[in-house]
Chain A
Amino acid sequence: MAASTEPKEGPNAAFLIVKPMATAARQFVKSLVRPSTIVYPFERLEDPSFREEVKVESGHPIGVGPIWDNYRGVHALNIATCISCNLCAFSCPDLCIEMVTVPGGDPKHPKKCPQIDYGKCSYCGFCSDACPEGCLSMTTRYELSTPNRSEMIYSPQKLHEVFERKLPMNPIRLERPENEDAIRLDAPLCIGCNACSRDCPTSCITMVDTPKPTAKPGEKLPRRIWKEPVINDSDCVRCGTCISVCPKECLFWGTHP
């Protein structure tokens, strides 16, 4: 008969109809109260009222919690603590950070702070990782659309306004340790490699010649360049780049002699 040629049916056909319809009806009743969709420009996840109203299944309100607080959005810049060290611009893989002069520095050493082109930025967060002062950090702000491209470039002042909004931020390093006052040199370890001088963002390290000692008989002089870094303390911004690039770990944080 025809029954033998029919393809095998799995569960009962009535079950195949009734169960999905019951599921849909349950969903319908549930979303009559409130659909999960957020009417975005009118409702925002980060609105305080919305946070109280909608809870995710873990019990945390949406918008609070570890994932949200690590969000990498628009940067916040604290101009007051920025030391113009240029490390953010160095670390940027997209070359979207340019150091521009802001008022506040003396004429000899103009204060330079990062200006970020969000048309290029990939939100990798390297700059805020590199910032030695913790003054550049990433916030939860994500609304960037503008009618023209030049408004995608955020000046330091604009980034400072973002900072003043006190949005949730990625805390990198908010305070500077007490003992980071000056760069000290452990002279016997130095090999005169010039790495610190090369990488210093403010070019305050100069390599000066040191007299090459005469070798005593039987003694082998270390193989090195007979130069030593001298740090111009008034130009140094204490960014710590020289410490991190030194291959022999002969530079360290210390206090003024």
Chain B
Amino acid sequence: MTVQSLYGVAALVAGGIAYLLPFLPPWLVTIIADVVFGAILLAASMINTIVLIWYERKLLGRFMDRRGAMHVGYAGLLQNFADGLKLFRKNTYKPREADSLGFYGGPTAYMVSSLVIFGILPISTGWDNGSLPLSLLLALVIFSFAPLFIFLSAWSSNNKYSLMGGMRSAAQMIAYEVPILIAVVAVVVLSGSFDLTTIVSEQRNYWFALPLFLALIVFVAGMLAEMERIPFDLPEAEAELVEGWNTEYGGMLFAFFMLADYLRALIGSILIVLLFLGGWTLPSYVPAALTSFPLAGIFWFMVKTYLVFGVFVWVRASLPRVRTDQLLRVGWMRMVPLALVSVLIAAAVVAAHCLPVLGCVPGLGS
């Protein structure tokens, strides 16, 4: 089937729907639109997640002087799809003493709560219709559901390693929620809004990463801990706990955890891009040719997201795992003061109103 005929089929389907739309009641149209949009979003996020795993494998390979996946598909691009298919076909086993509801419900809720955030995050211009006044807060709230579900599935597994991993995960995530939220407060002070679309549009003169560099560092470190990636992967420390809180999981349930981990990594990268790196916009002094081609917003957004995730991979390839006491000490004694300092900086920037090189902050609420 050629590309042209695919376009033809798509046009036929879209035309059919468009023909039927006037005859349908408005609530049904809304439901259809939501379902179609949700399906597209789901497919896009899942494909992006799997490609993200490929990207990490390739980058990590180069960091370790090897090549990563390279045989299935172009440069191994389809390797993770094949792995997912394999996991999908596998049987799932439940330990005899495990609690069914928690054992099966935990991964599902973890996955679903990670997927829901994609409905909140704006990706490009034109998402204003669906934007919420408190979308940043909502995204962070749903993002912090995870320890609950992790702990639920760890407890239900009836395995001591799972339980210890779940405990560590809960402790770590709660310790790093605080500096993350304070760092976000700095962004909110500077932009004057909890709406992610507004936050992005406020960065038209300069990216918030420049005045709020400290907050960026705190946010990145906190996100590393939230995503449980190296060097903060204590909850699944392979050397101590077998596989941490997903020790008892295999097959598709394990794939759920794996996918949700990378979904959360993707969400973390997206949040960093939205809050600190200007989202889909480039600074106003960039030539217009770079931002005027079709889908330029999504293009620059994806480029930035993958670069940020590349930094996560870089950190993973460089640093060893920290101890629990180091983790908590850094979280409470370094990150929280740094975040507070960055709030002060944000307040100072708002008070000064104009920065020497970067330009002026738009007025609050404007």
Contacts and interface: CB of A to CB of B under 8 A. Distances in A.
Interface of A: 2, 6-7, 17, 20-21, 23-25, 27-28, 30-32, 35-37, 39
Query: In terms of DSSP, what is the predominant structure of the interface of chain B?
Result: helix
Given A24-B63, A31-B66, 20 more contacts: A7-B325, A17-B318, A17-B319, A21-B314, A21-B318, A23-B318, A24-B317, A27-B62, A27-B63, A27-B64, A27-B65, A28-B314, A28-B317, A31-B62, A35-B61, A35-B62, A35-B65, A35-B66, A36-B66, A37-B66
Contact of B314 (A2, A24, A32): A24
A214 B70 CA distance: 88
26 contacts: A6-B329, A7-B325, A17-B318, A20-B319, A21-B315, A21-B318, A21-B319, A24-B63, A24-B314, A24-B317, A25-B314, A27-B63, A27-B64, A28-B59, A28-B62, A28-B63, A28-B314, A31-B62, A31-B63, A32-B62, A35-B61, A36-B65, A36-B66, A37-B65, A39-B67, A39-B70
Nearest to B323: A7
Contacts of B319: 17, 20-21
Interface in B55-78: 59, 61-67, 70
Q: Which of B62, B315, B318, B319 has the most CB of A within 10 A?
A: B318
Contacts of B329: 6
Interface string B315-338: 101110000010001000100000
Q: Which of A24, A27, A37 has the most CB of B within 10 A?
A: A24
A24 B320 CA distance: 12
Contacts of A32: 62
Nearest to A17: B319
A9 to B, nearest CB: 9
B67 A37 contact: yes
A24 B65 CA distance: 10
Nearest to A19: B318
B225 to A, nearest CB: 15
Q: Which of B61, B62, B66, B329 has the most CB of A within 10 A?
A: B62
A200 B65 CA distance: 56
- Among all A-B residue pairs, the 8 with the closest Cβ atoms: A24-B318, A20-B318, A21-B318, A37-B66, A31-B65, A24-B317, A36-B65, A31-B62
A30 B61 CA distance: 12
B70 A2 contact: no
A23 B63 CA distance: 9
Contacts of B314: 21, 24-25, 28
B99 to A, nearest CB: 39
